[in-house]
Amino acid sequence: MAITETEEVEKPLFEEYEETDLETPTDNIERVTPAIEFRDVKLFFDDRTILDGINFTVRRGETKVVLGGSGGGKSTIIKLILGLLKPDGGQIFIDGEEITEFDEPEMMRIRKKIGMVFQEGALFDSLSVYENVAYRLHEESVPEDEVEHEVRRMLRFVNLEDAIDKMPVELSGGMRRRVGIARALVGNPSIVLFDEPTAGLDPPTARTICELAIKLRDLEDASSIFVTHEMNNLEYLSSEYAVVDENGEVNFETEGEKLCLINTEVIMLREGKIIFSGKDEELRRSQDSYIHRFIRGK
């Protein structure tokens, strides 16, 4: 179980991140400021309550898995973070900054910090893999040699550099998702939002996608929301962690092999409320009958 990578070791994906910075008091304050915070967020569509007082935080370097049945409001939470919807009550903070009332230009600035991974990969079918990943950089008129450097770096991260000249139709579903992830990571977002990134994928491919999220969490210090209703995704994200070995290769190890603190927590939504918030083990020990059924799938 190893995804081999060599380049990231000398060259972190998010270059501005330096470990030494963490030792200074100011950066410690930054680290305790959550990447994302919802305070009593409410949202109604017509007369229907979609979100009914949602409170949670995503700490820096944390992956928050959001579970919940269809129509539970998971994608709505993501739209609120991106400012595509505005809440009817409560407050939303990104990196300690309240974005609740932000207008479009202010949200554009916030969105630069955020990478978004959609369910289907959402690639432009008429553009090559290279052009898809380069899209944001081309829009910003970045010089082509820099664009190519970035695109190759991102494609290496998702192990798809060989597919750089392919068209989306030539790719498998799993490859399309990985290109979608590479595209989301352009611009080194400190926050990455995944909306059901493994839906419809076979289990090994789904695991590869989870391992990319783990790599982002453990090696790049990214803060993520990972929406899913697949329990095995939660298991991978809660029990595996990424380490770089002496040859510079990324390996995935399992909790229990060594003592470690895996930075993943889970919230479960039901009828607009958070009915569970905590660690995977606690969720599995829960006595709640809805949670039981959700976990067992019946």
Minimum CB separation of residue 119 from ligand ATP in Å reads 8
Q: How far is the CB of 51 from ligand ATP (least distance, A)?
A: 8
Q: Which residues contact 119 (CB under 8 A, 6 or more apart)?
A: 195, 196, 197, 199
Q: Which entry of Mg ion, ligand ATP, none binds 83, CB below 5 to 8 A by partner kind?
A: none
Q: For residues 225 and 63, what is the distance between their CA atoms, to the nearest angstrom?
A: 6
Q: Choose among ligand ATP, Mg ion, none what residue 72 binds, the Cβ cut-off being 5 to 8 Å by kind.
A: ligand ATP
Q: Least distance in Å: CB of 43 to ligand ATP?
A: 8
Q: Looking at beta carbons only, is 85 or 142 nearer to ligand ATP?
A: 85
Residues of the shown chain interacting with Mg ion in the complex, contacts defined by CB under 5 A: 74-75
Nearer to ligand ATP (CB atom), residue 159 or residue 224: 224
Residue closer to Mg ion, measured from CB, 133 or 269: 269
Closer CB to Mg ion, 180 or 187, in the complex:
180
Q: What phi and psi values does residue 221 have, to the nearest 5 degrees?
A: 65, 25
Q: How far is the CB of 98 from Mg ion (least distance, A)?
A: 25
Lookup result for tokens 């900054």: 97
- Residue 76 binds which entry of ligand ATP, Mg ion, none, with Cβ cut-offs from 5 to 8 Å by kind? ligand ATP
Partner touching 73 among Mg ion, ligand ATP, none, CB below 5 to 8 Å by kind: ligand ATP
CB of 210 to Mg ion, least distance (A): 18
115 binds, among ligand ATP, Mg ion, none (CB under 5 to 8 A by kind): none
Q: Which amino acid is at 233?
A: N
Closest to Mg ion by CB, 76 vs 208, is 76
129 contacts 71 by C-beta, under 8 angstroms: no
Partner touching 70 among ligand ATP, Mg ion, none, CB below 5 to 8 Å by kind: ligand ATP
Nearer to ligand ATP, 68 or 87 (CB): 68
Distance of CA 255 to the CA centre of its chain: 21
Crossing angle (nearest 10°) for helices 144-157 and 173-185: 130
Q: Which residues bind ligand ATP (CB under 6 A)?
A: 45, 50, 68, 70-76
Sign (positive or negative) of CA dihedral 297, 211, 121, 59: positive
Paired sense of beta strands 89-94 and 114-117, if any: unpaired
Task: Return the one option of Mg ion, ligand ATP, none that residue 68 interacts with (CB less than 5 to 8 A, by type).
Answer: ligand ATP
CB of 209 to ligand ATP, least distance (A): 17
With contact defined as beta carbons under 8 Å apart, do 61 and 241 qualify? no
Q: Which is nearer to ligand ATP, 75 or 224 (CB)?
A: 75
Quote the least distance from Cβ 215 to Mg ion, whole Å: 24
